[in-house]
Structure 1
Amino acid sequence: MTIELEEPPLTHDNNQVFKDLFAGTMGGIAQVLVGQPFDTVKVRLQSAPEGTYNGALDVIKKLVQNEGPKAFYKGTLTPLVGVGACVSVQFSVNEFMKRHYDNKLNGQPLSLLQFFNCGAIAGFANGFLASPIEHIRIRLQTQTSSTKSFNGPIDCFKKLYQQQGLFGGIYKGLVPTLIRESVGLGIYFATYEALIANELTKDKSITRADISSLKLCAFGGLSGYTLWIAIYPIDVIKSKLQTDSLTKPTFKGSLDVVNKVFKSSGIKGFYRGFIPTILRAAPANGATFAVFEITMRLLG
């Protein structure tokens, strides 16, 4: 069974891909600026040894005391450039796939499953870019003054490659990243389009361009919630792999992470850092979708 969603005709402007990329980049920059402090707290909780922190508030307290407020934006340069690129890929591939389905359906509305497929393909493509970017960001976020190994993202990239090569170093955690991105972004974009469609159905006198920024933020925030609720345990597995020792690794792979986390902490081990992630989901993803949509409107 398919659920048909009302969708205005998609433009086939030859410059559309460039518009999608630019608007996605703007959305990605907004996401980083809003969400980076939450993400730093999440990563510290996910990757620290058991007992290091007593929750998100304890991470915040210790970061401020030991490293200062700037610590919340550690490794920001990498995601500012990288997440901008990632979100531009996510949105441009998603929009491209929507146009692909639109051509096949001769203007008929896409189903919820088709919107999911668009997002899943966008997520899979994005995973190859997101994996090294997140790996470098996480290495920078988790190092302290006493454990500092890298002098910025370029130095981190060089050392990861020198020590473990491309797939063992730079692309460490690629498999869970691809799974997370494919499933997560399929749900993410399908949720957003369903909310947009519902709004257009309620008031047939408006178009997508008439939906207010506040509602776009709300829809983006709700989409962010569904994304993280669905894929958070996979993100924990990825983070464990990407913060593991390069010279004396604790984990042999994703399945080994699952076994060891479950044995040591049970199910709750897969949800460490969940609260700051959920708190981040609404503002960060709300800003992402709102900035993307508004930028697209300005571009025409």
Structure 2
Amino acid sequence: MSKTVKDLTAGTAGGIAQVLVGQPFDIVKVRMQTAPKGTYSGMVQCATGIFRNEGPLAFYKGTLSPLLGVGVCVSIQFGAFEAAKRYFAAQNVARGVGGPEGKLLSPPQLIVAGSLAGLANSVVSGPVEHIRIRLQTQSATAPLYSGPWSAVRNIYGAYGIQGIYKGQVATFYREAVAYGIYFCCYDMLVQWEMKKKNIRREEINPGHSLLFGAAAGYALWGFIYPIDVIKSRMQTDGFSLTDGQKYRSTWDCVRKVWRTEGASAFTRGLGPTLIRSPFANGATFVAFELAIRALN
């Protein structure tokens, strides 16, 4: 099995773990991000309202789309990131840096590799998250879509491919910044552990991989949460002015949210995100590392 196939397979395992662990927190985040100001006093009220009005299964509303889509997304992330790392490692060997195999990459190299992984991933993550958010925020009593395929068919039939890729500009910004930070943080911690204990990557304790993944997740959200809010706003906005569209572009969305709701709107829903992050991201990296070990 080639290295790329192994990376993609292990990335899929990481993506599935991420969705199963993080989905209940994610729906609370999205509801808080996209609701009018004052709808919820906090994440507890939001979560309680979802449970009381829609039942416990509502926390996994729209899960099929991310379970399939995020598996593909994370597979692409890790596949692209590991391919970029191999490219930079070969450059390091030619320059005589980065250790015997050139695998000790510098922070700028890791940031570029992570950003490339995020951009590659965004082609899939944009529509996957758009469909998921549409399902998560639709009315429980009068839903527009019966499921992810219904949403895809209806949106594509009415608005074409542009409708499916609604909010894609914000997605590009988010993924490039987010995954540059995310993968750099994780791999720097891995390199630190390897050098400190003089061990190989596959010898790192899975518990440490869990902690490193949690730290990477916090680093990611600490930098890009406001961009994520804008992405969610764009993806739940109406498709045309006659459908109640509020925002003409990504920057128009930024200006209007700032003007009408203030700076606090850009951190709304951050609580459930920070609670979710260590579990979901820790699970992602542990699943990836264990899958890679099993495949080698």
TM-score band by shorter chain is over 0.9
Q: Distance in 2 between matches of 1:118 and 1:59?
A: 37
> 1:193 is matched by which residue type in structure 2?
D
Residue 139 of structure 2 is aligned to residue 144 of structure 1: yes
TM-score w.r.t. length of structure 2: 0.94
C-alpha displacement of 1:172 = 0.3
Residue segments in structure 2 that go unaligned for 5+ positions in a row = 94-100
State the distance in 2 between where 1:142 and 1:118 align: 34
278, 281, 300: which is aligned to 2:277?
281
**Offset, 1:21:** 0.6
Q: CA RMSD in A?
A: 1.0
Matching residue within 280, 286, 291 for 1:295: 291
The aligned residue for residue 32 of structure 1 is 19
Aligned residue in 2 for 1:256:
252
Which residue matches 2:98?
none
Partners of 2:85 and 2:201 in 1: CA distance: 15
Following TM superposition, by how much is the alpha carbon of 1:147 offset from its aligned partner in structure 2, in angstroms? 3.7
Quick check: 1:238 aligned with 2:225?
no
Residue of 183, 191, 195 corresponding to 2:185 = 191
Structure 1-normalised TM-score?
0.93
Letter in structure 2 aligned against 1:132: P
> In the alignment, which of 195, 209, 214 is matched to residue 201 of structure 1?
195
Q: Which residue of 1 aligns with 2:76?
A: 89
Alpha-carbon deviations, 1:63-111, whole Å to 9, x = none? 0110000000000000000000000000000000001111222233321
Find the aligned partners of 1:128 and 1:298 in 2 and give their Cα distance: 29
Q: Does 1:215 align with 2:202?
A: no
Task: Report the AA paired with residue 183 of structure 1.
Answer: V
The residue matched to 2:62 in structure 1 has which SS? coil
Aligned-pair identity in percent equals 48
Of 10, 23, 36, the residue aligned with 1:49 is 36
Residue deviations 1:29-72, cap 9 Å, x none?
00000000000000000011122111100111100110000000
Q: How does 1:138-177 map to 2 (within 5 A)?
A: 138-167=133-162, 169-177=163-171
Detail structure 1 runs of 4+ shifted over 3 Å in the superposition.
Answer: none
Which one of 106, 118, 121 corresponds to residue 111 of structure 1? 106
Task: Please tell me the residue identity of whatever aligns with 1:195.
Answer: L
Aligned residues: 285
| Alignment partner, residue 16 of structure 1 | 3
> Which residue pairs with 2:128 in the alignment?
133
